[in-house]
Amino acid sequence: MADLTYNETYKYMEMCPSLTLPNFMPDDIIDYLKTISIESGFKYGFLINPLLSTISQLMAQSSILTLRTYTERCTLFTAVVATSASGKSPSTKVIRQAYRKYERFEEIPLTESKIVNPATVEGFLRHIKKLENVLCLYEEALTYLHSAYITNERLIIENPRVNISIFGQPSIFLKLVHDEMRSKDDGLIHRFLLMGVERKSLTAKEIMESPRKLCCLSIIFYFISKLNQEAIQFRLDEQAILRFNDIYDKIGQKIDVANRIDGFISAMLGKTCSLILKLAMIFHMFEYAFYLVKNNEQLNREILNEVHKEWGCEVHANSLFFL
């Protein structure tokens, strides 16, 4: 598996665009994300996973409760599987720059930034010890993977929050799957929401003629941060409870079957409900912040200013959110 040729791994990538998924947000939000991506020269699929991990980090204090005691917190590991020169670096740059604009507006110095990319496990642990919640955006998956394994150093960290997004070649993730299936290792690959993105370059004309975006992404990041400045405990509404309970039961049935056949599949299924709840929080909050900006034209759409700060004090969310 480690010796797969480029052509062999590329065949797997060609399968990804054939998997059609429904839109996960309203059309105007999807159009907004596509505009951000196109003006920066890449397909919007590259933006989704790092964006999800970033929003999760901004919501690090919050959680969701269902089934009486089933609680999930905002920690999300995502990965984009893509070939070389396909848009990994530009998409990471867009997210990183927007996040740092928000931090600078909040007067957070670079030395205190929540974005960290440690190359060793010791560095990783020290950042979490210092900052409690961190966001890691790795353009190369191997940098993260080399920092993800055991050290002899012992640090006590209360309620750590880690959100990670990595990009890597198909062969890297195929090897992780292979190693897990062969050795029943540590389940690392099961923790990631993986997305394979179509390799298709944009033309200069497409980039130059991209429409004007609604607002800078940093403004939405700012309001998400303010809405989650204190912990929110999300709850599902009645319709969502019925839908989730149905999914929960069906996944449980599939796990019971898979346990007798394939431990890798059962472990993968075991993460499904957790992921659904986390994504429900993230999508809900991004949509809430997006329409907060869209529906209030008095807010500057280009740069954060004192008006945003005044609004940030006013929009503090209630302690209970229904999805």
* pLDDT for residue 236: 92
Q: DSSP string covering 275-302, please?
A: HHHHHHHHHHHHHHHHHHHHT-TTS-SS
* pLDDT for residue 317: 44
Domain coverage including residue 99: 6-322
Pairing assessment for the beta strands 233-235 and 320-322 based on DSSP bridges? parallel
Return the number of other C-beta atoms located less than 10 Å from residue 119's C-beta: 12
Average pLDDT rounded to a whole number, residues 249-269: 88
* pLDDT for residue 288: 92
Flag whether 1 is in a domain.
Answer: no
Residue 279: name the closest of 125, 72, 137, 111 by CA. Answer: 72
Flag whether 172 is in a domain.
Answer: yes
pLDDT at 50 exceeding the cut of 70: yes
| CATH of residue 223 | 3.40.50
pLDDT above 70: percentage of residues in the chain: 81
Higher pLDDT, 131 or 185: 131
pLDDT at 323 exceeding the cut of 60: no
Cβ neighbours for 143, distance < 8 A, ≥ 6 positions apart: 117, 119
Predicted TM-score (pTM) of the model is 0.88
pLDDT at 13 exceeding the cut of 70: no
Q: What is the token pair recorded at 155?
A: 């640090």
Point out which residues pair with 71 in neighbouring strands.
65
Average pLDDT rounded to a whole number, residues 275-298: 92
Flag whether 286 is in a domain.
Answer: yes
Cβ neighbours for 297, distance < 8 A, ≥ 6 positions apart: none
Cβ neighbours for 215, distance < 8 A, ≥ 6 positions apart: 293, 294, 299, 301, 302
**Position 17 confidence tier, pLDDT thresholds 50, 70, 90:** low
Number of domains forming the structure of the chain: 1
Taking the C-alpha atoms of residue 79 and residue 137, their distance in angstroms, rounded to an integer, is 10
3-state secondary structure of 73: strand
pLDDT at 320 exceeding the cut of 50: no
Task: Calculate the average pLDDT of the chain.
Answer: 82
Contact in structure between 168 and 142 (CB atoms under 8 Å):
yes
Average pLDDT rounded to a whole number, residues 251-266: 88
* pLDDT for residue 54: 96
Q: Distance of CA 119 to CAs 67, 80, 100, Å?
A: 39, 19, 20
* pLDDT for residue 20: 64
Check the CA dihedral 190-194-196-201 and report its sign.
negative
Most confident of 139-143, 150-154, 265-269: 265-269
Question: pLDDT digit string (tens) for 290-301?
Answer: 999 999 888 888
Average pLDDT rounded to a whole number, residues 230-251: 92
Contacts 24+ apart (CB under 8 A), 156-159: 157/125, 157/128, 157/129, 157/132, 158/132, 159/132
Q: Is 167 exposed, middle or buried (0-12, 13-18, 19+ CB in 10 A)?
A: buried
